[in-house]
Structure 1
Amino acid sequence: MIPIDYLRASRKGREVRPRYLNDDKIASEVINMAKSAKTLGEFRNAVELISSDKKLVRGLAHVLEQLIEIEKIDSKLVTRTRLEVFKAASALGYPLTEEERERVFQTVAARLKMGVNEVKALFLKAYEENRLIVKAPDIQPKQLVEMYNLALIQALLFKSLYVKALLPNAPALLKGLIRAVKGLGLMYIVEINGGQLEFRFDGPVSALRQTERYGTRLAKLVPYITSAEKWEIEAQVKLGERIYVFKESGRTAPPLPKTPPHAEQFDSLVEQEFYKQVSKICHVEREPEALVVDGRVYIPDFKIGDLYVEIVGFWTPDYLKRKYEKITKVGKPLLVLVSEELAMATWKQLMPNVVVFKDRPRLSDVFKYIKPYCVNHR
């Protein structure tokens, strides 16, 4: 992402659109500056000379900086050294000449049992721009342009009042998205729209001012959305005193990084073993299409015919009750497998279609439940 100050956008009526970068020439120059610079500050100063469009070069540099490896410092030692320098300067009087400043560093060097040059270096390392570039990023100009254009969309959403996203019902993608939503503490509702899922993410916006922190969180979802095969975004954003509408899609956007979140095939060995056993006699879908219940996404673990299967570890009666209520609202048959060892209830309180297992679910325990739905039943 880039700071809102680096956002380049075009406004037309009530609509706003990022000013995407299409030419990778400037991106190539920025990369070369990073490779030749010794410190972060030297790199930042060098890119300022590339173009008169300061927002553009600063934005590109900011994106590239996230990939630059800079030297690691001992922050405690740096802090201690600076405090000692300030204490010595105060004791010796404010140093006005080069000789007086040198005396301050010599005093601190003797006190800390270091070389004078080492003290001077540590004193400067408190400022990020003084740190050495250990390794410049190995990236092509085209890749930097794609990352920059993605960052423009994110910056625009820093000021979002709401974001709507239309995505395909693809469980692997949605699983990563929902985990990110929960981790960021976002609020959302979702509906089925023409076979796709339409998400609406809302922020705590008052009539007087917008909470920018929430807009930043929304912006972090953009890579999850744009990694989908098909996607559309619509948002209201507040720039200055005006509210604009931003619309973008996979059809109209320039090339963007395609980095879909990695999803493990199975969440646990229990799930893996269940799949291995049942797939010998039935066709089993792993994480089938997502279901929408009460404006929330629910992705069952498995699907056998029309039967959804959920494997539960830690559970309580209230948890199972909520799970059942959620699924019955969409009228889908459900089989819940619960761990005996992680139960926080007596088994007398279990509802129909709940199977308790000790180490792992056994085929003999679940066969009568899955038999009516088993497509390849022999």
Structure 2
Amino acid sequence: MLPKEYLDVRKIKGKIYPRFVDFEWFDIAKKVISIYAKNTGNKLKKARNEVKKIEDSENYKKIRAFARIVEREIDFKSPTTLNPLEVRKLLFSKGPVTTASEREKVIEEVARRFGVDKREIELSMFGDMEEDSIIDGVKVDPETLLMKYNLSLLQTTLMNAIAVRFRVEDNHKKVFSGIKRLGLMYEIEDEFVRLTGPASILKQTKKYGTAFAKLIPAIVNSRLWVIHAEILDYDRIYRMSISSEDGVMFYREKLSMDFDSSLEEELYSRLICSRRDLEIVREPSLVSVGGFAFIPDFRIRRGDREIYIEIAGFWTEDYVKKKVEKIERANIPLLVVAREEIAEKLKSRHVIRFKNKLPYLKILKFINEYFADSGGKNIMKAEGEVPEKYLRYKDWFVSIDFIEYCKKCIEEGRVEEVVEKEGGSIALEYLGYKVVWDGLSDFRIVRVHDD
């Protein structure tokens, strides 16, 4: 965020428009960065004085905001190895000085006490003040500076928000963990999240707006997003709408695949390895449950058929109560993989139970069955007479050609190809093998009677 005096917006007919920057500002951003960079080894106040020289009446808000952001990206070092506070205490204990010679005498005396020269005392006297910090390196480029400025400007614009609605395409868990951490309340309205405003606009607007502004980075980190806001400016309310489709360049953190538990990571790794024909998305779109959000761990899709997966692992008792209610009320195709004590509380869903170890083969079998009638040819659900060139195994019709193909793969050591195919685990079972996993993605097959 930026200081309010750097806020740069237009207000037209009840709407507010932040003055975002684009590549037309690239050269100015580069100039500001270069001023700080060339002052490496000098005090910060020297660079600040040089930045002021490139300001004019039209660009001063942008220049000062750029400088503010650049200073967040600077490595500083102290101008001295001494403790400035201790140096000041000793200097001031000598009493007031009224002439230059008296000052020189006091500094020489203090220098002897610390065992350093006079210049070191001069440097350390106010060495803990921000402007006296020594620039040791600048870690931002012009394009990143422009993107960080736009993000900060949007945050600052929304600091006086009294009502906010937004929608995100992904990154849901980080958004909602941010809502919880910042103490914001919310409701789900259609596909939008409405952050409920303060009870008193006059008393709590700033606190509410600041909390929402801190949520902005998580929202714009989504692939697609929309924000609608009402912003109080003195005694008038302005409206603002902005989305990822507006073409404004915002700074975005690189999203990493962070898992909430080792069980989630294990399931994802094995599914990616076993069923490469499926689209597997972690933390897909949120599901509205009685006005609140439910975000399943995974969505698995092929064509127009999909199913969600929720892993109910090591949950606290209080969390179980809240989560079970959401699971029961979620109107989506859902497979719950649950520890035994949690599974007992679930009634109306497909549930695979486990005690300690993730029952991956049961999960894979369920997924294979679920997607078996969505275009697969290797296996089909057994209904009616056995089709030509198929054989029946348990509840499946399995292609004879596929069985022969699997035999050949096993003989040639290409077992991975079999496991990746739809119906591969069924064919292996028919041939007398089972899959044994030796980690998240490594596996081998063994004869059932050899296990």
Q: Which residue of 2 aligns with 1:228?
A: 222
Q: Which amino acid aligns with 2:189?
A: E
The 1:223/1:367 distance shift into structure 2, 3 A limit, reads: closer
Query: Aligned partners of 2:368 and 2:248: how far apart in 1?
Result: 50
Query: Aligned partners of 2:279 and 2:223: how far apart in 1?
Result: 24
1:60 and 2:62 equivalent? Answer: no
SS of the equivalent of 1:32 reads helix
1:189 and 2:187 equivalent? Answer: yes
Query: Aligned partners of 2:313 and 2:248: how far apart in 1?
Result: 44
Q: Which residue of 2 aligns with 1:343?
A: none
Query: Aligned partners of 2:271 and 2:9: how far apart in 1?
Result: 54
Task: Give per-residue Cα distances to partners, 1:39-86, cap 9 Å, x unaligned.
Answer: 221122211111223322211111211112221579992333333333
Q: Which residue of 1 aligns with 2:419?
A: none
Query: Aligned partners of 1:190 and 1:18: how far apart in 2?
Result: 27
Query: Aligned partners of 1:347 and 1:367: how far apart in 2?
Result: 21
Task: Give per-residue Cα distances to partners, 1:331-355, cap 9 Å, x unaligned.
Answer: 3354444458xxxxx6896545362
Asked whether the 8 Å contact 2:230–2:240 carries over to 1, the reply is yes
Asked whether the 8 Å contact 1:84–1:108 carries over to 2, the reply is yes
Q: Which residue of 1 aligns with 2:50?
A: 46
Q: 1:83 aligns with which of 74, 78, 89?
A: 89
Query: Aligned partners of 1:334 and 1:348: how far apart in 2?
Result: 14
Q: Which amino acid aligns with 1:204?
A: P
Query: Aligned partners of 2:315 and 2:324: how far apart in 1?
Result: 13
1:193-204 to 2 correspondences below 5 Å:
197-204=191-198
Q: Quote the offset at 1:11 in angstroms.
A: 1.6
Asked whether the 8 Å contact 1:163–1:200 carries over to 2, the reply is yes
Please give the root-mean-square deviation of Cα atoms over the aligned residues, in Å. Answer: 3.2
Q: Which amino acid aligns with 1:82?
A: R
The 1:241/1:113 distance shift into structure 2, 3 A limit, reads: farther
Q: Which residue of 2 aligns with 1:14?
A: 14
Q: Which residue of 2 aligns with 1:357?
A: 355
Query: Aligned partners of 1:347 and 1:32: how far apart in 2?
Result: 59
Task: Give per-residue Cα distances to partners, 1:142-201, cap 9 Å, x unaligned.
Answer: 442332233221111121112222332x3xx22332233333333222333xxxx32222
Q: Quote the offset at 1:232 in angstroms.
A: 2.3
Asked whether the 8 Å contact 1:176–1:261 carries over to 2, the reply is no
Percentage identity across paired residues of the two chains: 30
Asked whether the 8 Å contact 2:2–2:152 carries over to 1, the reply is yes
Query: Aligned partners of 1:250 and 1:306: how far apart in 2?
Result: 27
Q: Which residue of 1 aligns with 2:394?
A: none
Asked whether the 8 Å contact 2:172–2:285 carries over to 1, the reply is no
Length-normalised TM-score, structure 2: 0.69
Asked whether the 8 Å contact 1:176–1:262 carries over to 2, the reply is no
Q: Which amino acid aligns with 1:297?
A: A
Task: Give per-residue Cα distances to partners, 1:256-287, cap 9 Å, x unaligned.
Answer: 33x24523164433223334556637957342
Q: Which residue of 2 aligns with 1:161?
A: 162
Asked whether the 8 Å contact 1:284–1:302 carries over to 2, the reply is no
Q: Which residue of 2 aligns with 1:273?
A: 266
Q: Which amino acid aligns with 2:45?
A: G
Instruction: Name the stretch that deviates more: 130-139 or 215-224.
Output: 215-224
Query: Aligned partners of 1:160 and 1:313: how far apart in 2?
Result: 38
Task: Give per-residue Cα distances to partners, 1:347-377, cap 9 Å, x unaligned.
Answer: 896545362321x212466578667535445
Q: Which amino acid aligns with 2:159?
A: F
Query: Aligned partners of 2:54 and 2:63: how far apart in 1?
Result: 7
Q: 2:286 aligns with which of 269, 287, 290?
A: 290
Which structure 1 residue ranges, 5 or more long, are not aligned?
Answer: 341-345
Q: Quote the offset at 1:128 in angstroms.
A: 0.5
Which structure 2 residue ranges, 5 or more long, are not aligned?
Answer: 373-421, 427-451
Query: Aligned partners of 2:68 and 2:47: how far apart in 1?
Result: 11
Task: Give per-residue Cα distances to partners, 1:191-242, cap 9 Å, x unaligned.
Answer: 33xxxx3222244351433442332231222233333343322212222333
Q: 1:27 aligns with which of 2, 26, 29?
A: 29
Q: Which amino acid aligns with 1:274?
A: L
Q: 1:246 aligns with which of 236, 240, 244?
A: 240
Q: Quote the offset at 1:131 in angstroms.
A: 0.8
1:276-355 to 2 correspondences below 5 Å:
276-277=269-270, 280=274, 283=278, 285-287=280-282, 288-303=284-299, 307-332=307-332, 334-338=334-338, 350-352=345-347, 353=351, 355=353
Q: Which residue of 2 aligns with 1:127?
A: 129
Query: Aligned partners of 1:254 and 1:283: how far apart in 2?
Result: 34
Which structure has more RCO (C-alpha within 8 Å, separation ≥ 6)? 1
Query: Aligned partners of 1:231 and 1:200: how far apart in 2?
Result: 14
Structure showing greater Rg: 2
SS of the equivalent of 2:358 reads coil
Q: 1:213 aligns with which of 207, 211, 216?
A: 207
Q: Which amino acid aligns with 1:148?
A: Y
Instruction: Name the stretch that deviates more: 316-325 or 32-41.
Output: 316-325
Q: Quote the offset at 1:326 in angstroms.
A: 0.7
Asked whether the 8 Å contact 2:79–2:123 carries over to 1, the reply is no
Instruction: Name the stretch that deviates more: 272-281 or 259-268.
Output: 272-281
Q: Which residue of 1 aligns with 2:5?
A: 5
Q: Which amino acid aligns with 2:7?
A: L
Count residues with an aligned counterpart.
359
